[in-house]
Structure 1
Amino acid sequence: MHAPYDNRDTPSPSARFAAGGTPVVLDRREGPHGEVVLRRQGEVLQIIANGCFLMDTSDGRSERLLVDAALDALDGRPAPAVLIGGLGVGFSLAHAAANPRWGAITVVEREEAVINWHGLHGGTGRAGPPTARRPGPAPGPGTPSAQAPAAAPFAALTAAALADPRTVVVHADLVAHVHASRAVHDALCLDIDNGPGWTVTEDNDGLYSPAGLAACRARLTPGGVLAVWSAKPSPDFEETLRNAGFRGVHTKEIPVARGVPDVVHLAVRPG
């Protein structure tokens, strides 16, 4: 089942192509998974990984749909806990934190650079109010995140969400996290790489494999919802979800100005 999504309060898909001027590199980092670059083109911020475009700030409709569709599928469950992976430019986190219906909000992001660009150091912990955080040494694992001394261009979008007491940011690889963690959530909202059909980083393939989906299922409460963002439709992935024991598998489409639509795959853990 395919249902187009149209949120008229958000920018038009044509905004994706409205950025003007020559791209300017704001930051470039080498990490354990390769190079990550932050660029600005006109008013648009872009994240580039290993030379491939990942995301920008021109149009967040599909990232917002990711959390809205998961919440709707929970059918009124009180204060559901959500895990968002990863942080990216922050559309999904900001949208979730703006909705008082969500309970605990856990964000898992593997790239320390991305965490820094939101005004946080790497590490695991709860983000305090921006005015209470000061630049300083990066905290170790298990300590509260702190404000990064470098420029944080995404903080304008996520500062309120990061100050929300429901929000915890975890610096970890999501694939490893879902296998190692014993925490359970009512929803997993996953926007990793370009989705199951095209991954820039080879390691991310494991998230969409039968073993990765089994780990995701184990991280969900009975009746919990798995929502997966993808840059294109994937009937094969829908079948993989069914074979992994999920029910109610369907997709929602988000039309874009050029090419195939973005999609959100939805599936429910039986219980």
Structure 2
Amino acid sequence: MTTSHDAPYNTTYDASHGTPEVIDRREGPYGEVVLRRHGGLLQIIANGCFLMDTSDGRSERRLVEAALGALDGRPGPDVLIGGLGVGFSLAHAAAEPRWGRIAVVERERAIIDWHRAGPLAALSSRALADPRTEIIEADLVAYVNETSDTYDALCLDIDNGPEWTVTEGNENLYSTAGLAACARVLRPGGVLAVWSAQPSPDFARTLGNAGFRQVRTEEIPVARGVPDVVHLAIGPG
């Protein structure tokens, strides 16, 4: 995701792009979700928090690349992407023939609709048509605790990072117990990759305490501001 993750949406106004246009506004089980157009960009806002836009995408792409690169060269690895967002991670995964199954967990029906039959389809239609792709409408925290499916890689991009979550319930995902749930959906030697707007030494320590190995943080340069990062770790066992 881009550095605009860090700002509430009412601080991202740029007069040179004109007045932002609300395309759709939905009230769901987790609060309000808004899709708006600002100049040539599409933006997603949840409960007043500016989540992401279509301006860049290098962080989302690097999240998927880093996870694949950290695997052990196994053929056709399956990946679980936490968060559909504007579709950059999904599109990049689907463009990579080395991936096997590409499952995306998204809890907001509105975001799924915007991709299937809305303005975001331009970014994701080819990926959604890929037979490897599956969209799972579910809360990621519940999914990793309940599913019997397993994956070779888990790429998380559902918050602004471990220390700035979109909803309070997501905080559990970055705890020792939450990471244990992530580990249970990873196959032996599987990779956990977590996007963050800034480094989190506390989260890196929690990964180690949860039994993850080879914990490291990779910086991703952005157009302005501090770099985004991807926390990478190999699952326990």
- TM beyond 0.5: yes
- Render the CA deviation track for 1:91-138: whole Å, top value 9, x for unaligned: 00000000000000000000000000001xxxxxxxxxxxxxxxxxxx
> Could you say which residue in structure 2 is the equivalent of 1:207?
173
The structure whose Rg is larger is 1
**Which has the larger helix fraction?**
2
Match of 1:251 among 197, 210, 217: 217
Partner of 1:98: 95
Corresponding position of 1:153 = 119
Judge conservation of contact 2:183–2:236 (CA < 8 Å) in 1.
no
Equivalence for 1:239: 205
SS at match of 1:118: helix
| 1:73 has 2:39 as partner | no
1:138-165 CA-to-partner distances (Å, cap 9, x unmatched) read xxxxxxxxxx4xxx11111110100000
| Distance across 1 between alignment mates of 2:171 and 2:154 | 17
Question: Aligned match of 1:46 in 43, 50, 56?
Answer: 43
Which of 152, 162, 167 is equivalent to 2:133?
167
SS in structure 1 opposite 2:17?
Answer: coil
2:134 aligned with 1:177: no
Give the AA of the match of 1:42: G
Shift of residue 175, structure 1, vs aligned partner: 0.3
In angstroms, what is the RMSD of aligned CA positions? Answer: 1.3
Alpha-carbon separation, structure 1, partners of 2:97 and 2:223: 32
Q: One-letter code of the match for 1:72?
A: G
CA offset at residue 19 of structure 1? 7.3
* Matching residue within 27, 30, 38 for 2:27: 30
Residue 222 (str. 1) matches residue 188 (str. 2): yes
- Percent identity between the two aligned chains: 75
Number of residue equivalences: 224
Structure 1: state its 5+ residue gaps.
1-16, 120-147
Q: Is the 8 A contact 2:158 2:166 kept in 1?
A: no
Q: In structure 1, what is the Cα distance between the partners aligned to 2:16 and 2:72?
A: 38
* Partners of 1:19 and 1:44 within 8 A in 2: no
CA distance in structure 2 between the partners assigned to 1:175 and 1:111 by the alignment: 13
Amino acid at match of 1:166: R
Q: Which residue of 59, 64, 87 corresponds with 2:61?
A: 64
User: Which residue of structure 2 aligns with residue 186 of structure 1?
Assistant: 152
TM-score (norm 2): 0.92
Q: Does 1:269 align with 2:235?
A: yes
Conservation of the 8 A alpha-carbon contact between 1:229 and 1:265: yes
> 1:200 and 1:170 mapped to 2: Cα distance?
19
**CA deviation after TM superposition for structure 1 residue 182, in Å:** 1.2
Counterparts of 1:55 and 1:269, CA distance in 2 = 28
